[in-house]
A and B are shown apart, each in its own frame.
Chain A
Amino acid sequence: MIQTFITSFKLKNTYRVNSIIYSIKGFPIINKILPNSLYKNKALKIFGNIISILWEIVSTFLWKGLYVWLVLGSMTFAYNTNQVNTFLHIFVFSTLIGGILNTYLLNPTKDKYYAIILMNMNANTFALTNYFYSMLKLIIGLMPFTIIFGLLLKVPLLICISMPLFVAMIKIIVIGIFSIPDFKKNKVVKNENLPTKKVWILLAALAILGFGLPYLGIVINQIIYIVLFLISIILGIIALKEIIAFKDYKKIYKVLLTNENVYAVQNANSTQNIRANIAKNIEYDGEITSDKSGFAYFHELFVKRHSKLLTKSVKKQTMVIILIFIILFIVVFINPSMKEGLNSIPLTYLPYFVFIMYILNRGTTITQAMFMNCDHSMLTYRIYRTPKIILGVFKERLKTLITLNLLPSVAIELGLMILLYITGGTNNMLNYLILFVSINAMSIFFSVHYLVMYYLLQPYNINTEVKSSTYPVVQAITYFICYYMINIRMTTFVFGIATIIFSILYSLISLILVYKLAPKTFKIRI
Chain B
Amino acid sequence: MKLIIKNLKKNFDKKEVLKNINFEFEKGKIYGLLGRNGAGKTTLFNCLNEDLPIDDGEFFLKDKEVRKIEAEDIGYVLSTPNVPEFLTGREFLKFFIEINKDRIKDEKTIDEYFDFMKIEKEDRDKLLKDYSHGMKNKMQMLVNIIANPSILLFDEPLTSLDIVVQEEMKQMLKSIKKDHIIIFSTHIMELALDLCDEIVILNKGILEKIDKNDLDNTKFKDKIIEALKEE
Contacts and interface: CB of A to CB of B under 8 A. Distances in A.
B127 A294 contact: no
Contacts of A37: 13-14
B99 A279 contact: no
A381 B147 CA distance: 11
Contacts of B147: 383
Contacts of B72: 382-383, 386
B13 A526 contact: no
Interface stretch (A15-23, A83-91, A369-377, A412-420): A369-377
B98 A293 contact: yes
A295 interface: yes
Contacts of B7: none
A380 interface: yes
B129 A294 contact: no
A36 B13 contact: yes
A497 interface: no
Interface residues of A, number: 31
Given A282-B129, A297-B94, A382-B74, A306 B86 contact: yes
Interface stretch (B20-28, B77-85, B168-176, B222-230): B77-85
A85 B54 CA distance: 71
A305 to B, nearest CB: 4
Nearest to A295: B99
Interface in A220-259: none
A380 B79 CA distance: 11
Contacts of A302: 86
Contact of A282 (B46, B76, B85): B85
B166 interface: no
Given A279-B129, A282-B129, A526-B51, A386 B82 contact: no
A400 to B, nearest CB: 15
Contact of A382 (B75, B98, B127): B75
Contacts of A306: 86
B75 A373 contact: no
Given A383-B99, A523-B51, A526-B46, A377 B82 contact: yes
18 contacts: A279-B129, A282-B127, A293-B98, A295-B95, A301-B86, A373-B86, A377-B82, A377-B85, A378-B82, A381-B76, A382-B49, A382-B75, A383-B96, A383-B147, A386-B71, A523-B51, A526-B51, A526-B52
Interface of A: 36-37, 279, 282, 284, 286, 293-295, 297-298, 301-302, 305-306, 373-374, 376-378, 380-383, 385-386, 389, 462, 523-524, 526
Given A373-B86, A377-B83, A382-B74, 5 more contacts: A286-B125, A298-B87, A374-B86, A381-B76, A389-B99
